[in-house]
Amino acid sequence: MNGFANHGLDESAFGDSKGLSAVKAFDAFPKTKPSYQTRTSTGGVWTLLLILASTLLTFSEIRRWFIGHTTHAFSVEKGISHDLQINLDIVIAMKCHDLHINVQDASGDRILAGEALTRHDTVWAQWGSGRKIHRLGDSLIGQGSLDGGGAGAENGYQEEDVHDYLGAARRKRKFAKTPKLGRGVEADSCRIFGSLEGNKVQGDFHITARGHGYMEFGQHLDHSAFNFSHQINELSFGPFYPSLTNPLDNTLATTDSHFFKYQYYLSVVPTIYTTDASALTAADYVPSTKSPASSSDAANTQQGYLFSPSTVFTNQYAVTEQSHVVGESQVPGVFVKFDIEPILLTIAEEWGGLLALLVRLVNVVSGVLVAGGWCYQLSEWAREVWGRRGRRRAGSSMGMLHGGGDEKSGMRDY
């Protein structure tokens, strides 16, 4: 009828060849035929939600992997070191020539710290007004953990980010300059600052008035000149990192009593901050004569041949205070007693491998898809049950409207 038969053609000649049809029919993952598929109105919404959730969780995992995680490990300090550097910057509300500074350790060695430290005449009114000044025992909110901002800078002593700590440690290692005195202004206070070397053993250093505390020749200072109100700008142990804040840094203590004794008890813990854990692993094979450096010069030398620049050696300490008024038969002043703990704290920032990241991403996406599939099936089941109940109610109400009740009453009359 259509003329194609005269040429030996039929409808099969215009379709796919048998070979191509066989290739199309082959599928390692067979699909359900369209005739057996049921499209729902909520399927597209669920698909978008699953894609959005998978994307957000994927970016979250990548971000966590990129930032890394911080680990804290305590161990017994294996190395041996003999020296300990003490960094001090303190302002006393007394004149410089009326003060004596000394350090004495458990081995009996006495260091005349007054000769090793620098003294500058200053005025007490120039100190004690900084934003980060606080009193020991008061709230530490507002005191930054790192000078110039850093991890925990708004909430006091929070956990510090290792990168911020290392960045602050690389800044200049010099004490700040003393404010200049105006013309005609008489100094009433003394700023004492600098670094000194001592034995790495238990000890204490103290600041007392001239003629008190040690037997010496000369006139004793009049008691009315005693005023050990002070501001500690820096008190640290080990290499000097002025940008890193310690518990006693920026601490202000004032008193109206002439005979007042400030006592600080410090527990010093050698600490290592690093982003190169492999360097610390290599350090385990170093002879026992090597130990984390306890001075600035030793730290520079040690990092040069053993550790990468991404490692900082320092010391952290906890402090307690016991200050009170004393009688005239006792010695007033500022006394700091420190004890070296035989443990080593290592704070390391580490990153997982790329393969571990891929495994986590696969697990996250798979979990989202599986959980989403369950939620979708539950929602469809609930929707179907609710629809059946709705249809039953609609059917019963339609029966009443069409006279179902009259039919039953008629049957009773019959």
Quick: pLDDT tens for 70-96: 778 888 877 666 788 899 999 999 999
Percent of the chain exceeding pLDDT 90 equals 14
Quick: pLDDT tens for 25-71: 655 556 666 666 666 667 778 888 888 999 999 999 888 888 777 77
Confidence check: pLDDT of 173 > 60: yes
Instruction: Dig out the tokens for 347 from the structure.
Output: 């704070």
Confidence check: pLDDT of 106 > 90: no
Percent of the chain exceeding pLDDT 70 equals 65
Q: In sequence order, which residues have a C-beta less than 8 Å from that of residue 103 and are 6 or more positions away?
A: 86, 110, 111, 113, 196, 198, 203, 204, 205
Q: In sequence order, which residues have a C-beta less than 8 Å from that of residue 15 and are 6 or more positions away?
A: 21
Higher pLDDT, 22 or 356: 356
Q: What is the band of 158 on the pLDDT scale with cuts at 50, 70, 90?
A: very low
Quick: pLDDT tens for 321-378: 888 898 888 889 999 999 988 888 888 887 777 888 899 899 999 998 898 888 888 8
Confidence check: pLDDT of 143 > 70: no
Beta-carbon count within 10 A of 337 CB: 14
Q: What is the spatial distance between Cα 70 and Cα 113, in angstroms, rounded to a whole number?
A: 38
| Angle of helix 404-413 versus helix 354-401 axis, rounded to 10 | 50
Q: What is the spatial distance between Cα 25 and Cα 7, in angstroms, rounded to a whole number?
A: 30
Among 110-124, 130-144, 170-184, 317-331, name the one with the lowest average pLDDT. 130-144
Q: How does the average pLDDT of the chain come out, rounded?
A: 75
Q: What is the pLDDT of residue 306?
A: 46
Q: What is the pLDDT of residue 33?
A: 65
Q: Mean of the pLDDT values across residues 384-402?
A: 68
Among 42-56, 131-145, 202-216, 381-395, name the one with the lowest average pLDDT. 131-145
Q: What is the pLDDT of residue 155?
A: 37
Confidence check: pLDDT of 262 > 90: yes
